[in-house]
């Protein structure tokens, strides 16, 4: 038995954990770039605390999933300001922007030198500046992963900037920051979190440590998501924050699968929220993978476990729960992806493009283009 396991320098988890943010940030340097979204009022207090501790703060407001241009602008601002530490507070998009900016500020060249697929894909040659990541949603696990997903409008794709050194020096997860989040955002981010503990568990790259993480997190994620679909619950918020963290650790070390392989291309084409894409594809891809594994006479023990956990949490029979997931999401008023379709969408072309995505390499089996197209049709 042998495996590697990557994780941030330190993880601080729990209600109230955010109280240490300003102090910990100042320990890394005086010149701070604060990357933030616009929806969390507490960040205003954090910025004052940083200044009170003698920090010189350069604030960058992130408006959504980071694009090549947004990364380039923030990198230039950081270079001009002599930034010593990057503090990213927000959802996965803000944290991905933080990872990219921290990695590229000290590096020669441009982001396109390093992007996968649409760029040169060159490795970083200089260590990033320290990054502190503090998520305000429970979904992406971006605070503990080594890649940043970047939108490339010219290519109509979302691709990754990836390097082991892009892991945060400190990840602070305070579930209280997700309390009272809007129901739609809660379900979308929660579906992403659930997908990101299921796919690594079924991955061809799974290892004993990621297995232990996922076996604990999958049942908790199902239970928490079902509860949050019914209404606000602090215990469910805590569970979902843990599941999101677990998913980030698992995917960083075991990879993902066809859901995320398709989601990167679909997101670039449709502009639909990433979590909704993952949630809508989860059931159809689980069903397609299980059917292919059965056809190959492969071991289905892990699929049976996932089906049992989903069935128990969503009150469905295990043998039908994969196919029942689209209807369950319908009953929760989770939008289907056809709301983002404008004109004709060539699903076969999307499937062919997604086949080369890095996430596809760890899918438990090879899925045909028709199988991928069928899964997308069920998500629309």
pLDDT at 2: 79
Q: Could you tell me what percent of the chain has a pLDDT over 70?
A: 100
- What integer is the mean pLDDT of 300-316? 97
Question: Under a CB-based contact definition with an 8 Å cutoff, are residues 43 and 36 in contact?
Answer: yes
pLDDT in tens, 59-85: 999 988 899 999 999 999 999 999 999
In sequence order, what are the beta bridge partners of 147? Answer: 162
Q: What is the pTM of this model?
A: 0.93
- The DSSP letter of residue 165 is G
Write down the domain spans for the chain.
Answer: 11-177, 182-379
**182-379: which CATH topology?**
Dehydroquinate synthase-like, alpha domain (1.20.1090)
What H or E segment, with its residue span, contains residue 129?
none
Indicate if the pLDDT at residue 120 is higher than 90: no
Indicate if the pLDDT at residue 263 is higher than 80: yes
pLDDT at 197: 98
In sequence order, what are the beta bridge partners of 151? Answer: 67, 158
pLDDT at 225: 97
d(CA 176, CA 156): 36
Token couple for 283: 């059931």
Which DSSP string corresponds to 70-114?
HHHHHHHHHHHHT--EEEEEESHHHHHHHHHHHHHTTSSS-GGGT
pLDDT at 81: 96
- String of b and e for 244-258 (b: at least 16 CB within 10 Å)? bbbbbbbbbbbbbbb
Considering only 109-118, 187-196, 248-257, which range has the smallest mean pLDDT?
109-118
Task: Provide φ and ψ at 254, rounded to 5°.
Answer: -120, -5
Q: What number does CATH give the domain 11-177? A: 3.40.50.1970
């Amino acid at each position: 038995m042998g495996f590697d396991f990557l994780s941030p320098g330190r993880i601080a988890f729990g209600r109230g954990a955010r109280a240490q943010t300003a102090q910990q940030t100042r320990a890394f340097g005086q010149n701070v770039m604060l990357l933030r979204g616009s929806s969390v009022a507490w960040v205003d207090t954090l910025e004052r605390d940083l200044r009170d501790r003698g920090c010189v703060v350069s604030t960058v407001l992130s408006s959504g999933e980071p694009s090549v241009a947004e990364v380039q602008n923030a990198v230039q601002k950081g270079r001009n300001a002599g930034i010593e530490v990057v503090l990213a507070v927000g959802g996965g998009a803000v944290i991905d922007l933080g990872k990219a900016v921290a990695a590229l500020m000290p590096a020669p060249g441009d982001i396109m030198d390093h992007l996968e697929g649409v760029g040169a894909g060159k490795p970083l040659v200089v260590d990033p500046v320290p990054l502190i990541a503090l998520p305000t949603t429970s979904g992406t696990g971006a605070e503990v992963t080594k890649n940043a997903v970047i939108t490339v409008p010219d290519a109509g794709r979302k691709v990754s900037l990836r390097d082991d050194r892009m892991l945060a020096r400190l990840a602070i997860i305070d579930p209280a920051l997700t309390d009272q989040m809007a129901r739609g955002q809660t379900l979308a981010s929660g579906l992403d979190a659930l997908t990101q503990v299921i796919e690594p568990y079924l991955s061809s790259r799974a290892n004993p440590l990621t297995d232990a993480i996922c076996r604990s997190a999958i049942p908790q994620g199902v239970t928490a998501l079902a509860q949050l679909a019914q209404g606000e619950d602090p215990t469910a918020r805590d569970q979902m924050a843990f599941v999101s963290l677990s998913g980030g650790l698992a995917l960083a070390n075991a990879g993902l699968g066809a859901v995320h392989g398709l989601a990167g291309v679909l997101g670039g084409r449709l502009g639909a929220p990433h979590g909704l894409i993952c949630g809508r594809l989860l059931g159809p891809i689980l069903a397609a993978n299980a059917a292919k594994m059965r056809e190959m006479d492969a071991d289905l023990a892990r699929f049976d476990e996932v089906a049992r956990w989903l069935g128990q949490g969503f009150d469905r029979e295990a043998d039908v729960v994969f196919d029942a997931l689209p209807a369950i999401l319908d009953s929760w008023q989770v939008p289907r992806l056809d709301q983002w379709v404008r004109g004709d969408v060539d699903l076969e072309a999307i499937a062919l493009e997604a086949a080369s995505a890095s996430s596809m390499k760890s899918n438990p089996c090879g899925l045909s283009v028709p199988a991928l197209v069928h899964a997308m049709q069920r998500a629309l």
